[in-house]
């Protein structure tokens, strides 16, 4: 297995395990106004360059260096240069950045979405809005409407004033106090749950880089997942996935009709030991394998942190934001609908979230894994019971952007999108986790430093 792919599996798995524990941060309008060398005149129209400087401040981006040559001596030049290097501001069809032009609401929304980790080309969610689907900025517009950051009827072509631009960014990079209070109450309610069972659907789409499209085909997976928890930490999870592989683009591979492959994975986690089994058509009889305790982080402490809303380290608290979307009904329960979104690209800060540390060998592998990723952003919605603060539905989309290279190898994937939707939560139903005898009798995966691949294959579902 390629090194970049091994690192990818482990990196994404770790972030999926940690992301729900994040706590939101905020930036204020007063802090944003301090970006200007002198106070702008009331009602002043905001330029693209000025918005780039405001956006850099709102996102906590480190801006260094002198103004770019193309910006002359403009005070916002370093921010524009940094935004251009990150692909946040890309200019007009004529190639010019035109930073002295007024910025429209749509341009502001697109730049903000890129900072939040929405890569170009990702599919748009279904929303009702005023912008035509054929518009160049429809996809980021749709994501921001879904998260409650834009209103469907807003004029996306309107020029922003300084006040409007500051208010927009303070909203995007802040959180509703009401939403934060509800999420906090939900975590406190979750801490009292004795057991939990939920079922839902999952889909994964991998998009290759344009230059690798002939060698690596686009791959899509979809299926169902059932998970049972018994606290403090016993887990049973089963996932059935259908992988769609275009047979005509994978020469020499004997694929089933239509290029569809059925994969079933099952795992248990009991007393700190993980047991896994993977079933793929054509393989010999599936075998259980045992992952020893010393190969895993302190999962019990990690789960308890999440249940008690302890959150991630200070370096990650500003990465996630919450919006209150109003009340609704879900499975017969009156609920609050909360949007959550954010981005992680500080791998070292993420590593600090693991309580108790890691075995040295795994820590080395995980540090390497961070080099595969540019960023991972999350866009989700949670339905929290009005009366009991328990979650009754959730939906999350994760968007992974990859580095161009990893350890000298080209990473052929450009993006990976994973989507999970759960609408069947059951609490305190008497879940009992019992590991099958054949799993208990499974051989333990060797964890010596000389066998890193065995470790990776055994840890990919963490």
Are residues 272 and 135 both part of a single domain? no
User: Which structural domain, as residue segments, surrounds residue 294?
Assistant: 3-24+178-459
pLDDT for the residue 441: 92
Are residues 218 and 312 both part of a single domain? yes
pLDDT for the residue 308: 46
pLDDT for the residue 414: 84
Once rounded to an integer, what is the mean pLDDT over residues 248-263?
Answer: 60
Contact indicator for 191, 392 with CB cutoff of 8 Å: no
Are residues 73 and 99 both part of a single domain? yes
pLDDT for the residue 323: 93
Given 144, 173, 202, the domain boundary residue is 173
Are residues 55 and 155 both part of a single domain? yes
- 85: which 2 tokens? 């290097």
Are residues 222 and 343 both part of a single domain? yes
Q: Rounded distance, CA 318 to CA 458, Å?
A: 32
pLDDT at 148 over 90: yes
- Digit-coded pLDDT (tens) for 131-147: 998 899 999 999 999 99
Domain count, the chain: 2
- Digit-coded pLDDT (tens) for 68-109: 444 456 899 999 999 998 889 988 888 889 999 999 999 999
Given 137, 154, 173, the domain boundary residue is 173
Are residues 40 and 9 both part of a single domain? no
Are residues 107 and 246 both part of a single domain? no
- Digit-coded pLDDT (tens) for 107-134: 999 999 999 888 766 788 888 888 998 8
- 183: which 2 tokens? 């999420």
Are residues 13 and 145 both part of a single domain? no
Q: Rounded distance, CA 152 to CA 293, Å?
A: 50
Are residues 301 and 195 both part of a single domain? yes
Are residues 242 and 313 both part of a single domain? yes
pLDDT at 456 over 50: no
Q: Which of 251-260, 282-291, 402-411, 443-452 has the lowest mean pLDDT?
A: 251-260
3-state helix, strand, coil in the chain (%, to 5): 30, 30, 40
pLDDT for the residue 252: 44
Are residues 303 and 193 both part of a single domain? yes
- Digit-coded pLDDT (tens) for 194-205: 999 999 999 988
The helix (run of H) or strand (run of E) holding residue 225 is: strand 219-230
pLDDT for the residue 211: 76
Contact indicator for 421, 395 with CB cutoff of 8 Å: yes
- What is the chain's alpha carbon radius of gyration, rounded to the nearest angstrom? 23
Given 173, 202, 220, the domain boundary residue is 173
Are residues 366 and 439 both part of a single domain? yes
* Residue 292 DSSP symbol: -
More confident residue, 161 or 283: 161
- For 282-390, where are the E strands, in sequence order? 289-291, 320-330, 333-344, 373-385
Most confident of 156-160, 233-237, 271-275: 156-160
Contact indicator for 125, 419 with CB cutoff of 8 Å: no
Q: Rounded distance, CA 237 to CA 248, Å?
A: 34
* Residue 259 DSSP symbol: G
pLDDT at 257 over 70: no
């Amino acid at each position: 297995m390629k090194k970049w792919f091994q690192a990818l599996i482990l990196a994404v798995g770790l972030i999926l395990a940690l992301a729900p524990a994040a706590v939101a941060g905020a930036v204020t309008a007063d802090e944003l106004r301090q970006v200007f060398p002198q106070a702008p005149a009331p009602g002043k129209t905001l330029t693209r360059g000025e918005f780039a400087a405001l956006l850099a401040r709102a996102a906590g981006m480190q801006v260094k260096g002198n103004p770019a040559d193309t910006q002359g001596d403009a005070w916002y030049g370093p921010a524009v240069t940094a935004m251009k290097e990150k692909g946040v501001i890309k200019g007009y069809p004529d190639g010019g950045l035109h930073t002295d032009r007024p910025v429209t609401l749509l341009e502001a929304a697109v730049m903000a979405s890129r900072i939040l980790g929405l890569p170009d080309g990702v599919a748009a969610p279904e929303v009702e809005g005023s912008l035509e689907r054929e518009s160049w900025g429809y996809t980021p517009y749709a994501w921001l409407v879904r998260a409650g950051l834009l209103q469907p009827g807003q004029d996306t072509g309107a020029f922003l004033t300084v006040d409007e631009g500051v208010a927009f960014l303070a909203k995007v990079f802040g959180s509703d106090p009401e939403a934060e209070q509800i999420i906090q109450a939900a975590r406190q309610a979750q801490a009292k749950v004795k057991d939990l069972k939920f079922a839902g659907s999952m889909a994964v789409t991998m998009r290759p880089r344009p230059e690798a499209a002939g060698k690596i085909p686009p791959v899509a997976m979809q299926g169902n997942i059932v998970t049972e928890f018994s606290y403090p930490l016993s887990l049973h999870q089963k996932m059935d996935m259908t992988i769609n592989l275009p047979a005509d683009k994978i020469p020499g591979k004997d694929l089933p009709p239509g290029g569809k492959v059925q994969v079933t994975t099952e795992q248990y986690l009991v007393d700190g030991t993980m047991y896994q089994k993977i079933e793929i058509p054509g393989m010999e009889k599936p075998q259980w394998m045992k992952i020893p305790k010393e190969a895993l982080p302190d999962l019990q402490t990690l789960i308890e942190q999440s249940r008690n809303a302890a959150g991630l380290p200070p370096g990650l608290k500003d990465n996630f934001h919450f919006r209150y979307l109003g009340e609704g009904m879900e499975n017969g329960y009156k609920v609050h609908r909360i949007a959550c979104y954010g981005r992680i690209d500080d791998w070292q800060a993420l590593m600090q979230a693991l309580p108790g540390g890691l075995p040295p060998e795994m820590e080395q592998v995980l540090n390497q894994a961070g080099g595969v990723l540019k960023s991972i952003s999350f866009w989700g919605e949670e339905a929290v019971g009005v009366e009991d603060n328990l979650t009754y539905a959730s939906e999350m989309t994760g968007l992974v952007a990859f580095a161009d290279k990893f350890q000298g190898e080209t990473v052929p994937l450009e993006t990976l999108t994973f989507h999970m939707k759960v609408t069947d939560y059951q609490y305190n139903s008497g879940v009992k986790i019992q590991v099958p005898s054949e799993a208990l009798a499974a051989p333990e995966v060797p964890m010596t430093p000389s066998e890193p691949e065995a470790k990776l294959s055994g840890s990919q579902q963490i």
